[in-house]
Amino acid sequence: MKAGYSADGGFTLMEVCVALAVLVAGAVVFGRYLDGFNRVRALERQHANAVLADVQFMESFILTPPPCLDSSFTINGVNVTLKVVHGVKPLAWTQVGTLRRLVRCVR
């Protein structure tokens, strides 16, 4: 008789328990991996949505120029800062969230 096998040719109870423990450990590790992956995807999705909202606000300032005044305000939870650039053309540095761009303003 070989070591590790019973007389019937099957596995011993200890071998089955060890195999199940290894299988459960692998399933737990895989589940934790998927959970972490889903959390990272959710954070990336939130960041992308925030950037898209910032871009929409910036586009609205490009299409409808703001007044040429130094100002800072919040629209729908998005911080907006305008800094007038003195010169020939009416321009202002506009910062919306993380985006910054030079836009035309109205005097």
Name the pTM for this structure: 0.63
Residues 6+ apart with CB under 8 A from 91: 84, 85, 102, 103, 104, 105
Domain range summary for the chain, segments of one domain joined by +: 13-104
pLDDT tens digits, 34-89: 999 999 999 999 999 989 988 988 898 889 988 888 989 888 778 888 999 888 78
In a 10 Å sphere around its CB, with 0-12 CB exposed, 13-18 middle and 19+ buried, how is residue 75 labelled?
A: exposed
8 A C-beta contact, residue 69 and residue 83: no
- Return the pLDDT at 88: 79
